Amino acid sequence: MLVQPVVCPGSGIRSWTVLGDDDVPVVPVDRFLAYLTDIGRSPNTVKAYAHDLKDFWEFLGFRGLDWREARLEDAGEFVAWLQLPPAGRSGAVAVLPPAVPEVSVPTVNRKLAAVSSFYTHQARNGAGPGDLLASWRTGGRGGWKPFLHHISKGKPYRGRAVTLKAPVKLPRILTVSETQAILDACARVRDRFFFALMHESGCRAGEALGLRHEDIAAAEREISIVPRDNANGARAKSGGRTVPVGGELIRLYADYLHGEYGGIDSDYVFINIWAEPRGRAWSYPAAYDLVLRLRAKTGIGFDPHWFRHSAATRWLRDGVPVEVVSKLLGHSSVTTTSAIYGHLTAEDARAALEKAGWLTGREVSW
């Protein structure tokens, strides 16, 4: 089986499909992926769903199952199958218990979420056995209770029937010295401005690559993140927002325009200047090629998303309310922000207690 990129006729929008062993699209998967594209899901999201459903279809083929015949027990076996190496999945090689799982727990959970979404979509269209991975639960004593439980007390809520417990993983952030080293390693103002923008505003790399000159209000010192279609495929993952920035970042933007951008006619802020085609919007591969060069130069194995994590962590440590941080990041809810950045390290906890005077003075003596 194969995941294949496609271009939707008429709109020209890029999407993905899954081809069977006969090189023909798998119809139910193809329709589901087309639906995701139609409702505006990111091409990267559609691509990930395509790969996840390809794995599920390969598992069904190995088991000799039609997708409409799959049951909850089969979903459990799918989890075990995913954790086998390729040779073990085909049944050609017996895998001993100590073998390291082929995919991580978060990846397995993502694939299960894709399968669940597929079956939910089919059920809403009157096809399939219903949501394969959904179970309806009620909040009980000592258990997790959904939001507004006090209003809907006793009513069932939709939960996941199969999911693996993933270890809590703190987002990787950059230290001040690491950030400075990366910025100083940039030989061009454009590149320095790219990373400085993410450090200051907490925007994603795709949001930076889709930035237009009209989105930068120099006088107000504000950067607007605007969801739109971009020639380089860059996307604003979440809704639009405006982020205040400092004057130094605006001055760096001006240095970039006067020193390197010059008279190039383009709406995009980040463009090809030294590579062809000159003036075209800077692409993901070009930006990531810069990241690889800076990794080798600095010895820091960073990812562009670390700048976003660092900004969020810095804001929270400096006392910015979580609801403000959520808005600056463009999260759909404060719950999302808290889930990602709400896990304090021991050092964070100590700093907060010392700031409150809890560790420096006592009302009672020991």
Same domain for 121 and 20:
yes
- Hey, what are 345's tokens? 């390290």
* 363 CA to centre of own chain: 47
Q: Flag whether pLDDT at 314 surpasses 70.
A: yes
Residue 35 has what pLDDT? 92
Same domain for 251 and 351:
yes
Same domain for 193 and 71:
no
Residue 144 has what pLDDT? 45
Question: Between the CA of residue 324 and those of 205, 248, 321, 334, 338, what are the distances in Å?
Answer: 21, 22, 5, 9, 12
Question: How far apart, in whole angstroms, are the C-alpha atoms of residue 264 and residue 191?
Answer: 17
Per-residue confidence at 358, pLDDT binned at 50, 70, 90? low
Residue 31 lies in a domain: yes
- Hey, what are 304's tokens? 């562009």
Q: Is 160 a catalytic residue?
A: no
Percentage of the chain modeled with pLDDT above 90: 48
Residue 91 has what pLDDT? 63
Q: Judge whether 53 and 122 are in contact, CB under 8 Å.
A: no
Same domain for 192 and 132:
no
Same domain for 277 and 343:
yes
Residue 132 lies in a domain: yes
Same domain for 275 and 195:
yes
The arithmetic mean of pLDDT across residues 273-280, rounded, is 93
Quick: pLDDT tens for 54-101.
999 999 998 899 998 888 888 888 888 888 877 677 665 555 554 566
H or E segment and range at residue 159? strand 157-160
Nearest CA to 335 out of 347, 325, 348, 345 is that of: 325
**Average pLDDT over all residues of the chain:** 83
Question: How far apart, in whole angstroms, are the C-alpha atoms of residue 76 and residue 80?
Answer: 7
Quick: pLDDT tens for 122-144.
888 887 666 666 554 445 444 44
Q: Flag whether pLDDT at 341 surpasses 70.
A: yes
Same domain for 90 and 213:
no
Q: Flag whether pLDDT at 323 surpasses 60.
A: yes
Residue 323 lies in a domain: yes
Residue 270 has what pLDDT? 97
Residue 253 lies in a domain: yes
What CATH number is associated with residue 107?
A: 1.10.150.130
Question: Between the CA of residue 148 and those of 14, 138, 196, what are the distances in Å?
Answer: 39, 13, 40
Q: Is 288 a catalytic residue?
A: no
Same domain for 331 and 239:
yes
Residue 147 has what pLDDT? 46
Per-residue confidence at 216, pLDDT binned at 50, 70, 90? very high
Q: Is 149 a catalytic residue?
A: no
Q: What share of the chain is helix, strand, coil (3-state, %, to 5)?
A: 45, 10, 45
Residue 295 lies in a domain: yes
- 3-state SS class at 220: coil
Percentage of the chain modeled with pLDDT above 70: 78
Q: Is 188 a catalytic residue?
A: no
Per-residue confidence at 339, pLDDT binned at 50, 70, 90? confident
Residue 122 lies in a domain: yes
Same domain for 292 and 225:
yes
Which one of the listed residues 89, 192, 199, 308 is annotated catalytic?
308
Domain end position, chosen among 84, 112, 136: 136
Residue 359 has what pLDDT? 67
Range of the domain at 9: 2-136
Residue 146 lies in a domain: no
Among 5-14, 212-221, 257-266, 269-278, name the one with the lowest average pLDDT. Answer: 5-14
The arithmetic mean of pLDDT across residues 179-207, rounded, is 96
Same domain for 346 and 198:
yes
Q: Is 51 a catalytic residue?
A: no
Which one of the listed residues 49, 256, 268, 341 is annotated catalytic?
341
Q: Judge whether 249 and 192 are in contact, CB under 8 Å.
A: no
H or E segment and range at residue 137? strand 134-137
Which one of the listed residues 204, 235, 241, 309 is annotated catalytic?
204
Same domain for 221 and 86:
no
- In degrees rounded to 5, what are phi and psi of residue 281? -55, 135
Does residue 174 or residue 362 have the better pLDDT? 174
Per-residue confidence at 282, pLDDT binned at 50, 70, 90? very high
Among 153-162, 172-181, 220-229, 281-290, name the one with the lowest average pLDDT. Answer: 153-162
Question: How far apart, in whole angstroms, are the C-alpha atoms of residue 51 and residue 4?
Answer: 10
- Out of 87-96, 180-189, 323-332, the most confident range is 180-189
Q: Is 355 a catalytic residue?
A: no
Residue 145 lies in a domain: no
Which one of the listed residues 190, 192, 235, 331 is annotated catalytic?
331
How many domains does the chain fold into?
Answer: 2
Same domain for 344 and 279:
yes
Burial class (CB in 10 A: 0-12, 13-18, 19+), 94: exposed
What CATH number is associated with residue 325?
A: 1.10.443.10
Which one of the listed residues 68, 237, 251, 355 is annotated catalytic?
237
Question: How far apart, in whole angstroms, are the C-alpha atoms of residue 18 and residue 30?
Answer: 6
Q: 282 Cβ partners below 8 Å, 6+ apart?
A: 209, 232, 268, 270, 271, 272
Q: Judge whether 278 and 172 are in contact, CB under 8 Å.
A: no
Quick: pLDDT tens for 41-50.
888 889 999 9
